[in-house]
Structure 1
Amino acid sequence: MAGTASIRLNFPGKLIGRKLEKQNGDILHVASCSSGKTPSLSDQRRLSLVSASAQIDVGISGTVNGKEVNGKHVAEEAVQVGKLGNENAADAALVTSLHGRFVESKFVYRQIFVIRSYEIGPDKTATMETLMNFLQETALNHVTSSGIGGNGFGTTREMSIRKLIWVVTRIQLQVQRYSSWGDVIEVDTWVDAAGKNGMRRDWVIRDHHTKEIITKATSTWVIMNRETRKLCKIPEEVRQEVVPFYLNRSSISTEQTDSEKIDKLTDDTAERIRSGLAPRWNDMDANQHVNNVKYIGWILESVPIKVLEDCNMTSMTLEYRRECRQSNLLESLTSPTARVIGDSNNNSINRKPDLQYTHMLRLQGDKKEVVRARTEWNLKP
């Protein structure tokens, strides 16, 4: 939103605000109030978050007069906001603003998130699990909003007919910095082919107000039969559904992509082993196996507490080997692979890590691998 913009909202009772002006990016403040009172902090926060979405540009000054305001389109839901009370109106507009949308035509899907108090860790910043949840949520909404979604999470219509699902085989995240409680971020995602029978999905996370890139991620997906649990080739009908959305772009450059093989850990090579990790019912996803994000917490169970306290994880690569179900018990293995002391004042994503670790999750009973992982860590400033 440039300069001052507004839509007219028809609130019962006194008018609470005249207009909102742009300040510090997209965050707006109330310039004047006919009632002589400034809206509460909670109302101002809602309005700030509404403005974070490019779907609607919001200011308060009266009644809704159509869908075009100052030459800008107002989302259909926003037109209904004026029929609600003051508090409900702000809530409804906020919900509308947090819906994702397509940018760059149909190729890139963007979603806005706010870091909530239950999504941060002991250092008051978003956790790696939180970031992974954002990636997963944006990917699922991308498929749903594309018009090709089937009756399952992330599946297309042709996949649903054939009882097929997507499963991730590898994912890599690079974190420049972690967002704090209350920060507003935007997540962009897109897809491309990965070989003959795979699909690559990439993401970029930005600070919504500064547009600074704070996280990059890339992943590889293959198709599995939901009933037999066996991998299969991409049917031509499915390929034709997804090919129109392919974008030949990588979020992580070839030089930064972690393509090296992750070594297998054993009882002899692992420095730390944590046993007895039990999946709960709530750890299951809609496809009846452990949610991909849950593995991160189990991996960190065998990382030294001193590392968790003193370092930030700057990179994580996960290789998924097999499914895990609620009846399984897991073991988490970790071993340091390198220690390279870099310049602690250099916060570039290209900085060499201070610590590197190799990890593995395996079934406790037969020792079969579930996930291999590699992490890189830098000392906190």
Structure 2
Amino acid sequence: MLNNKRRFSLMTTNSHSSSQKVGTINGTKVNEMHAVEAPLSGAADEAFVTSLRGRFVEGRFVYRQIFAIRSYEIGPDKTATMETLMNFLQETALNHVTSSGIGGDGFGATREMSLRKLIWVVTRIQVQVQRYSRWGDEIEIDTWVDAAGKNGMRRDWIIRDHYTKEIITRATSTWVIMNRETRRLSKIPGEVKKELVPFYLNRIAVASEEKDCEKLDKLTDDETSERIRSGLAPRWNDMDANQHVNNVKYIGWILETVPIEVLEDFNMTSMTLEFRRECRQSNLLESITIPTTRVIGESNNSINRKPHLQYTHMLRLQDDRIDVVRARTEWHFKQKLQ
């Protein structure tokens, strides 16, 4: 297994290996070590490399990719953060489009979308976490798409432990099309639908009874006095290729107003985000969080168990107080061994 997972192995200088030894890698010395290139093991090794890059399964309806949880993708408890998971979901979705053969020159856009200066924008996403992977764990992510009404697309994801195949995260999202220049929403052109329909899969990752369909209400000024953080400024590196703030960046700003004792003692087990409008680098934001329910008691191991804590969140423009993102999060006590 280790031979398949590693392309290079490190050997001490007094090794008697017959393989050719090198004292540097890309012109840099390896401290008293030699890097020895391991020979490819044939089809198994090639299959592993392919899976790391991503591949289609189930007749090209489902796209699968493997990720390892790295040291800079974990939080203080050595587990992957919600932002890390969201980045993985976004990366898998973009690679799905690129690998499908219909990708254009836009950020996840198809060829026909690029010709018409159209881009995808997510309007709502829900992520349910059964447990968070730890540093060094390997996960596999499956993603697929389906129609959502007349002018939308639904994208779902399932995250599994790569070796045990245990499902640890489920996610679902809704996307619409926007004109890149006018920044106005657009109907899906017939030519774009023709590109997408061959990849549609009638399958849901989040069961209907577990899907968060409740309206996310706007918080009023009377409700916002408890926890509010102003002066949140997007940086240049927070912008994505579509020239607006990357969706994942909003999560960090939302968590700015969650009590520190909650972050320390609870895991976020569900997050629903509703994106109301774009945010540019010139905007200043306010983050607001209020508790909506508190239910502490017996719970089972299903993902739809009652949360110990629930919060409602809102990010709004600081100047005119127009809401940019509305959100709801659910939290459970962290397990002692986690």
Does TM, scored on the shorter chain, surpass 0.5? yes
**Structure 1 residues 57-136: aligned runs within 5 Å:** 73=43, 78=46, 97-136=51-90
- 2:132 is aligned to 178
Q: Measure, in 2, the Cα distance between the counterparts of 1:153 and 1:63.
A: 34
Aligned AA for 2:247? N
8 Å contact 2:51–2:65 — kept in the other structure?
A: no
Q: Measure, in 2, the Cα distance between the counterparts of 1:302 and 1:252.
A: 28
Aligned AA for 1:241? E
Q: Measure, in 2, the Cα distance between the counterparts of 1:203 and 1:279.
A: 28
- 1:293 is aligned to 248
Q: Which string of whole-angstrom CA distances, capped at 9 and with x for unpartnered residues, describes residues 307-356 of structure 1?
A: 11110000000000000000000000010000111336x44313210000
Pairing 1:241–2:245 present: no
Q: 1:273 aligns with which of 224, 228, 231?
A: 228
Pairing 1:343–2:301 present: no
Q: Which string of whole-angstrom CA distances, capped at 9 and with x for unpartnered residues, describes residues 33-90 of structure 1?
A: xxxxxxx9x99xx9xxxxxxxxxxxxx7x787xxxx5xxx467xx4xxxxxxxxxxxx
How far residue 380 of structure 1 moved from its aligned partner, in angstroms, is 1.1
8 Å contact 2:51–2:64 — kept in the other structure?
A: no
- 1:200 is aligned to 154
Look up the SS of the partner of 2:95 in the other structure. Answer: helix
RMSD in angstroms over aligned alpha carbons?
2.6
Structure 1 unmatched runs, 5+: 17-39, 47-59, 79-92
Q: Measure, in 2, the Cα distance between the counterparts of 1:177 and 1:321.
A: 29
Identity across matched positions, percent: 78
Q: 1:334 aligns with which of 289, 306, 328?
A: 289
Pairing 1:154–2:108 present: yes
Look up the SS of the partner of 1:349 in the other structure. Answer: coil
Q: Which string of whole-angstrom CA distances, capped at 9 and with x for unpartnered residues, describes residues 110-159 of structure 1?
A: 00000000000011100000000000000000000000000011100000
- 1:323 is aligned to 278
Q: Which string of whole-angstrom CA distances, capped at 9 and with x for unpartnered residues, describes residues 244-288 of structure 1?
A: 000000000000000000121122112210101000000000000
**Structure 1 residues 215-234: aligned runs within 5 Å:** 215-234=169-188
Q: Which string of whole-angstrom CA distances, capped at 9 and with x for unpartnered residues, describes residues 181-231 of structure 1?
A: 000000000000000000000000000000000000000000000000000
How far residue 14 of structure 1 moved from its aligned partner, in angstroms, is 1.4
- 1:258 is aligned to 212
Distance 1:351 1:184, change over 3 A: same
8 Å contact 1:342–1:351 — kept in the other structure?
A: no
Distance 1:279 1:63, change over 3 A: closer
Q: Measure, in 2, the Cα distance between the counterparts of 1:118 and 1:225.
A: 35
Aligned AA for 2:80? A
8 Å contact 2:268–2:329 — kept in the other structure?
A: yes
Q: Measure, in 2, the Cα distance between the counterparts of 1:378 and 1:161.
A: 46
Look up the SS of the partner of 2:210 in the other structure. Answer: coil
8 Å contact 1:342–1:353 — kept in the other structure?
A: no
**Structure 1 residues 19-30: aligned runs within 5 Å:** none
Q: Measure, in 2, the Cα distance between the counterparts of 1:163 and 1:182.
A: 40
- 2:14 is aligned to none
Q: Would you say how many aligned residue pairs link Structure 1 and Structure 2?
A: 312
Q: Measure, in 1, the Cα distance between the counterparts of 2:232 and 2:40.
A: 57
How far residue 239 of structure 1 moved from its aligned partner, in angstroms, is 0.4
Runs (4+) off by over 4 Å: 93-97
Q: Measure, in 2, the Cα distance between the counterparts of 1:283 and 1:213.
A: 30
8 Å contact 1:163–1:225 — kept in the other structure?
A: yes
8 Å contact 1:335–1:358 — kept in the other structure?
A: yes
How far residue 15 of structure 1 moved from its aligned partner, in angstroms, is 5.2
Q: Measure, in 2, the Cα distance between the counterparts of 1:187 and 1:342.
A: 32
Q: Measure, in 1, the Cα distance between the counterparts of 2:98 and 2:320.
A: 38
Distance 1:353 1:63, change over 3 A: closer
Q: Measure, in 2, the Cα distance between the counterparts of 1:144 and 1:74.
A: 24
Q: Measure, in 1, the Cα distance between the counterparts of 2:40 and 2:137.
A: 31
Structure 2 unmatched runs, 5+: 10-16, 21-32
Look up the SS of the partner of 2:182 in the other structure. Answer: coil
